[in-house]
Structure 1
Amino acid sequence: MSDFAARVFRATYSSDTEAADLDAYINKNFSTERQEAEIADLSAAVFLATVDDLIIGYAHVVVGLADSSSALLNRIYIDTEWRGRGLANDLLDAVLSESKQRGVTRLELTVFERNERAIAFYQRAGFAATGNTTFAVGEDLQTDLVMEMDLGERFNSSKT
């Protein structure tokens, strides 16, 4: 999973970020040890999309960072060759199902302000921008949008 995450992150952000900053971020956040710790974290859930044992996408969500009713969608990564085929929707559905089971009522994420494809996806899914935050990629301080989805409304409206 580490190699996959590093490859997708580099492919997505290399046009906006210097190579040294990308390397620093990837080395810190996508090491095998870090990925194993994320998988082992009981407050988190990791969902994989695979083809013939090859990872082509994954999602990582952490429940209860602010309080027990909220969750942070850390990432949905899809291999560039597999984008546009509905995998992100499938992974988000898995995240939403897990969130519902854990009693989450608010799902939050951050997304690079220039990642228009991801922003459009999250908006279509029902997320709304609620602010900005600074995101460090190595020494490069970038602006991310903070987006949220009220799961209480979503889960209640899906019952009708």
Structure 2
Amino acid sequence: MEYSIRECTKDDLPVLREISYQTYDDTFRDKNSSSSMNAYLEQAFDTRKLRKELSNSYSVFYFLYIGEELAGYLKLNDYKVQTDINDPQSLEIERIYIKKKFHGRGFGKLLLKKSIEVAANKSKSYIWLGVWEKNDNALSFYQKNGFYKMGEHSFFMGQEEQTDYLMRKDLTTEA
């Protein structure tokens, strides 16, 4: 199937907000309270917040299209705006989200491949991310793709404290 990945621009803000909200809600709504989920969605995908993130030269978003249809997106953070590690030798994958109708077809791997490509072009030693300890599908995906757990940190869904596993993939063996 034909696909393309392109960097988001400020003009993509409404579409970015929509896909961010939709994919996050689809992924986590059934495992969290409505009040926590609603609070998180409004805070994390607030238009002003996303506009600021799109304008930050240390963060970049990419859209994944399957044919002409937007299927998912990726957000990468360089060390100055990383959510936790802040290591100049690393690149953080803050978000890889695929629309439900495209799940299980290898499209997440395309965005992971893009992350590795960006990290390699920036001469990074490793990529890392945080994954909710109860997100079994994501944990399995990242483990199958060479990530290992290097720690944990707290993540707040509304007022509820949750645990994210910090996972790392070393890039020294990537060609």
Report the TM-score, using the length of structure 2 for normalisation. 0.83
Structure-2 separation of matches of 1:69 and 1:86: 28
Question: Aligned pair count?
Answer: 155
1:84-106 per-position Cα deviation (integer Å, ceiling 9, x unaligned): 11111111111111111112112
2:143 corresponds to? 123
Q: Conserved in 2, the CA contact under 8 Å of 1:70 and 1:104?
A: yes
Match runs of 1:8-157 below 5 Å? 8-51=23-66, 54-65=69-80, 66-151=86-171, 153-155=172-174
Q: Which runs of 5+ in 2 are unaligned?
A: 1-15, 81-85
Distance in 1 (alpha carbons) for counterparts of 2:87 and 2:131: 21
CA contact under 8 A between 1:63 and 1:104: conserved in structure 2? no
Question: Sequence identity of aligned pairs in percent?
Answer: 25
C-alpha distance in 2 between matches for 1:55 and 1:22: 24
Please tell me the residue identity of whatever aligns with 1:102. K
Q: CA RMSD in A?
A: 1.4
1:154 deviates by 2.6
Structure 1: state its 5+ residue gaps. Answer: none
1:144 positional shift? 1.1
Q: Deviations over 1:119-156 (max 9, x none)?
A: 111111111011221110101111111101111x233x
One-letter amino acid of the counterpart of residue 56, structure 2: D
Paired letter, 2:30: S
Counterpart code for 2:126:
R
User: How does the TM-score come out when normalised to structure 1?
Assistant: 0.90
Corresponding residue for 2:6? none
- Alignment-derived partner of residue 3 in structure 2: none
Residues of 2 paired with 1:79 and 1:154: CA distance? 30
The separation in 2 between residues aligned to 1:108 and 1:129, in whole angstroms, is: 10
Q: Which amino acid aligns with 1:106?
A: Y
Equivalent residues of 1:17, 1:140 under 8 A apart: no
> Tell me, what secondary structure is at the counterpart of 1:9?
helix
Q: What do the CA deviations read for 1:8-66 (whole angstroms, capped 9, x no partner)?
A: 11111112211111111111111222222222221122111124654210110101141
In structure 2, C-alpha distance between the alignment counterparts of 1:128 and 1:120, rounded to whole Å = 11
In the alignment, the residues of structure 1 paired with residue 108 and residue 173 of structure 2 have an alpha-carbon distance, to the nearest angstrom, of 18
2:137 match: secondary structure: helix
Moved more, 93-102 or 47-56: 47-56
User: Which segment is superposed worse, 73-82 or 49-58?
Assistant: 49-58
